[in-house]
Chain A
Amino acid sequence: MARQLFANIAIALIWAFLHTSYTFKDFFIGFVIGAILLYIFQRRFGQDFYLRKILKVLKLSFIFLKEIVVANFQVFFLVIKPKLYLRPGIIQLPIDVRSPLKIVLLANMITLTPGTLTMEISPDNKILYIHVLDIGDEEAIKNDIRTKFENNIKECSK
């Protein structure tokens, strides 16, 4: 990945210098041309095209933003209802991701999404304890987090 990024920046710089221009616009055009070249010659590097990974990251951020908005409307309706209808509780969520950075990412995403709040991680880094505002179906909540976030985080690091 680092090698492809380096090659791409080098191509962009060459493009900008050939135009004897030092503006961001020319650098950007060069960058796009470099990306196209790298895409054509990706077999030469023996690994996947690196911008594909960026696309996955973008997909994750998009899902995340959507979930934040949903979370807010959910809390909004819970708060303005005249009669408070809550079934709070703490549940365990076994997690598959292992590296500390990914666990932090997952924990933060869980906190900012509908009705869930990360409280603690077990000492062996395998279980997250999550406070849920409205436990309807515990399995559904767990599945939701797994399919939406955990799988996408794993995809990003492949």
Chain B
Amino acid sequence: MGVILLTGIGSVVIAVIISFLLFLGSIFILVGSIGLVRFPDIYCRLHAATKGATLGMMSIMLASIIFFYVAGLGFSARNLLVIVFIMLTNPVGAHMIAKASYHYDVELWTGSISDEWGGQ
């Protein structure tokens, strides 16, 4: 692209904001992935996977919106839609995986301290 409109101090500030958002998003997704490996059972792993991916994607999309706006390519409403749909579909996906696992008798981790659902 390279059509950044702002010059001088403004462009530096914008660049820092965009880089920070990208960095934050990548970190959250990375931590989500590490959690996916480290956590003991499928239910705990879902925690790491859904939360990390949602906020990570949100930050990256936000960075993308700011970049394209500043670059003079208009406000990309499509990226906003991506955020909305990720926020809608991610929890539903996690919910369905958890529900299906439980109904297929996937064991809770042995360290779990309560199960009030209890095979109903």
Q: How large is the interface on A (under 10, 10 to 19, 20 to 34, 35 or more residues)?
A: 20 to 34
Known: A72-B55, A90-B115, A112-B90. A117 touches B46 (CB 8 A): yes
Segment at the interface with B among A4-12, A29-37, A44-52, A79-87: A79-87
Interface residues of B in 4-43 (CB under 8 A from A): 27-28, 31-32, 34-35, 38-41, 43
A111 touching B91, Cβ below 8 Å:
yes
Pick from A89, A111, A117: contact of B115, CB under 8 Å: A89
Could you mark each residue 74-118 of chain A with 1 if its beta carbon is under 8 Å from any beta carbon of chain B, else 0?
011011100010111111100000000000000110011001011
Interchain CA distance A111-B115 in the complex, whole Å: 18
Pick from A76, A108, A122: contact of B92, CB under 8 Å: A108
Q: Which residue of B lies closest to A129 (CB)?
A: B117
Chain A residues in 8 Å Cβ range of B35:
75, 78-79
Instruction: Please report whether the interface of chain A is mostly helix, strand, loop or mixed according to DSSP.
Output: mixed
Known: A129-B117, A131-B43. A111 touches B95 (CB 8 A): yes
Known: A72-B52, A80-B31. A89 touches B98 (CB 8 A): no
B51 touching A90, Cβ below 8 Å:
no
Size of B's binding interface in residues, CB under 8 A: 41
Chain A residues in 8 Å Cβ range of B94:
111, 117
Listed by A's residue number, 27 A-B pairs whose Cβ atoms lie within 8 Å are A75-B31, A75-B35, A75-B47, A84-B38, A84-B40, A86-B109, A86-B111, A88-B40, A89-B115, A90-B108, A90-B114, A90-B116, A91-B114, A91-B116, A111-B50, A112-B51, A112-B87, A117-B43, A117-B47, A119-B95, A119-B98, A119-B117, A120-B99, A120-B117, A122-B120, A131-B46, A133-B47
On B, residues with C-beta under 8 Å from A are 27-28, 31-32, 34-35, 38-41, 43-44, 46-48, 50-52, 54-55, 58, 87-88, 90-92, 94-95, 98-99, 102, 108-109, 111-117, 120
On A, residues with C-beta under 8 Å from B are 68-69, 71-72, 75-76, 78-80, 84, 86-92, 107-108, 111-112, 115, 117-120, 122, 129, 131, 133, 135, 138
